[in-house]
Amino acid sequence: MSSTTSTRKAVIPAAGLGTRFLPATKAMPKEMLPVVDEPAIQYVVAEAAKAGLDDILMITGRNKRSLENHFDRVPDLEATLEAKGDTDKLNAVRQATELGDLHYIRQGEAKGLGHAVLCAKRHVGEEPFAVLLGDDLIDERDELLSTMLETQERLGGSVIAVMEVPQEKISAYGVIDANGQDKVTGEDGKPADVVPVHALVEKPPVEEAPSNLAIIGRYVLHPAIFAELEQTKPGRGNEIQLTDALQAMASKPAEDGGGVHAVIFRGRRYDTGDKLSYIKAVVTLAADREDLGPDLREWLKEFVGQI
Ligand code: G1P
């Protein structure tokens, strides 16, 4: 579903050092690690494009060249495939180059997610914009970003995506306090899908987590966030945290771009941020594919019987 809102810009931070995947990421950004047969970053760019965001700014760091190359045309390779009549591969190669206008900017210093987003200030200007984190993949069959864009247009301020996670995992995320409203049921008896956010805290200890609603890597931000980020002091991990800037925005008046709402996502999300989750993501997505799924599922059953 393509969005009907006027938001056009997406920011994708891709400057992380990828140390969890060394040595694979020694000479290659972690965003280029393949998830089945596409680099992880391509899923994220495709998700943005599908929601109508066709102006995409990547905040890159070292090794940005392979990212740029991946989303660029390769005339000689395309000519070879064309001459061979290999249209499947030709389409696969071209797919990444047709997703929108891509722009790149370097973060320079790795000072945290908040700092990476601040690097987008000049490019974004005065419009609301989306931020998509590459470690989180949202299943293309499930809807999230368009809902967030529409929610932002309807309610103003900023909109984040959250998901219920088991208590023992909560400290790996930013966590929201929705004043218990996540449990409020609407008229049709379903849990509320959009809740006002009263407070946000970055990676709290389990006993201090205000809820089990974890921030997942999708945001639609009011441009007033930039002025806030400029004043945000380093927080957890001595990094400038987007969560801390959003915490300040939550209590600001609407006329100053304040207010934060959370869309509760109940679909399929794959985490590619650490080795085990990454392997699970690759297996899950491959098992669902028409071309690979039947054989892989068969083999997985055999394999599980042996361990
Ligand atoms: C970032 C955010 C965190 C959020 C997470 C989602 O953390 O700071 O609030 O919950 O992404 O993936 P990171 O995982 O980059 O440390």
Q: Which residues 6+ apart lie within 8 Å of 89 measured at CB?
A: 81
How many other CB atoms are there within 10 angstroms of residue 252's CB atom? 16
* 145 close to 3: Cβ distance less than 8 angstroms: yes
Domain assignment present for residue 303? The answer is: no
Q: Looking at residue 303, what is its pLDDT?
A: 93
Per residue in 190-201, pLDDT (tens digit) is 666 899 999 999
- Pocket test of ligand 1: the residue of 113, 246, 270, 272 to mutate, having most ligand atoms within 8 Å of its CB, is 113
d(CA 84, ligand 1 centre) in Å: 44
d(CA 214, ligand 1 centre) in Å: 9
Mean pLDDT of 33-59: 95
How many other CB atoms are there within 10 angstroms of residue 86's CB atom? 13
Q: Is the CB of 244 under 6 A from ligand 1?
A: no
Q: Looking at residue 53, what is its pLDDT?
A: 96
Domain assignment present for residue 298? The answer is: no
Tell me if residue 304 falls in helix, strand or coil. Answer: helix
Mean pLDDT of 62-84: 87
Question: Does residue 115 have a pLDDT over 80?
Answer: yes
Q: Looking at residue 186, what is its pLDDT?
A: 54
d(CA 2, ligand 1 centre) in Å: 26
d(CA 212, ligand 1 centre) in Å: 15
Domain assignment present for residue 108? The answer is: yes
Mean pLDDT of 46-50: 95
Q: Which residue has the higher pLDDT, 65 or 225?
A: 225
Question: Does residue 1 have a pLDDT over 60?
Answer: no
Average pLDDT, the chain: 91
Q: Looking at residue 280, what is its pLDDT?
A: 94
Question: Does residue 189 have a pLDDT over 70?
Answer: no
* 84 close to 78: Cβ distance less than 8 angstroms: no
Q: Looking at residue 93, what is its pLDDT?
A: 85
The boundaries of the domain holding residue 214 are 9-273
What's the half-sphere exposure (Cβ side, CA atoms, 13 Å) at 49? 14
What are the DSSP calls for 78-121, one per residue?
Answer: HHHHHHHT-HHHHHHHHHGGGS-EEEEEE--S---HHHHHHTTH
Q: Looking at residue 61, what is its pLDDT?
A: 85
Give the atom of ligand 1 at the shortest distance from the alpha carbon of 16: 15
Domain assignment present for residue 246? The answer is: yes
Give the atom of ligand 1 at the shortest distance from the alpha carbon of 203: 9
Question: Does residue 29 have a pLDDT over 70?
Answer: yes
Q: Looking at residue 100, what is its pLDDT?
A: 82
Q: Is 92 left (phi over 0), alpha (psi -120 to 50) or beta?
A: alpha
Query: How far apart are alpha carbons 52 and 55 in whole angstroms?
Result: 9
Block residue for tokens 């000519």: 79
Question: Does residue 158 have a pLDDT over 80?
Answer: yes
d(CA 19, ligand 1 centre) in Å: 16
Block residue for tokens 């419009």: 127
Give the atom of ligand 1 at the shortest distance from the alpha carbon of 216: 6
For the purposes of burial, counting CB atoms within 10 Å of the CB of 219, is it exposed (0-12), middle (13-18) or buried (19 or more)? buried
Q: Looking at residue 284, what is its pLDDT?
A: 95
Domain assignment present for residue 295? The answer is: no
Per residue in 242-291, pLDDT (tens digit) is 999 999 999 999 999 999 999 999 999 999 989 999 999 999 999 999 99
Long-range contacts of 226-230 (CB under 8 A, 24+ apart): 226/118, 226/121, 226/124, 229/114, 229/115, 229/117, 229/118, 230/118
Helices 275-287 and 293-306 sit at what angle, rounded to 10 degrees? 130
* 139 close to 287: Cβ distance less than 8 angstroms: no
Per residue in 77-113, pLDDT (tens digit) is 888 998 999 888 888 888 888 888 999 999 988 899 9
Share of the chain above pLDDT 90, in %: 74
Domain assignment present for residue 63? The answer is: yes
Domain assignment present for residue 48? The answer is: yes
How far CA 222 is from CA of 61, 125, 142, 257, in Å, comes to: 25, 10, 24, 6
Share of the chain above pLDDT 70, in %: 94
Domain containing residue 92: CATH number: 3.90.550.10
Domain assignment present for residue 200? The answer is: yes
Confidence band of 297 (pLDDT split at 50, 70, 90):
very high
Tell me if residue 271 falls in helix, strand or coil. Answer: strand
Tell me if residue 178 falls in helix, strand or coil. Answer: coil
Q: How many domains in the chain?
A: 1
* 273 close to 18: Cβ distance less than 8 angstroms: no
Query: How far apart are alpha carbons 132 and 128 in whole angstroms?
Result: 14
Show the tokens assigned to 200: 């946000």
Per residue in 122-157, pLDDT (tens digit) is 999 999 999 999 899 999 999 999 999 999 999 999
Q: Which residue has the least CA distance to atom 9 on ligand 1?
A: 174
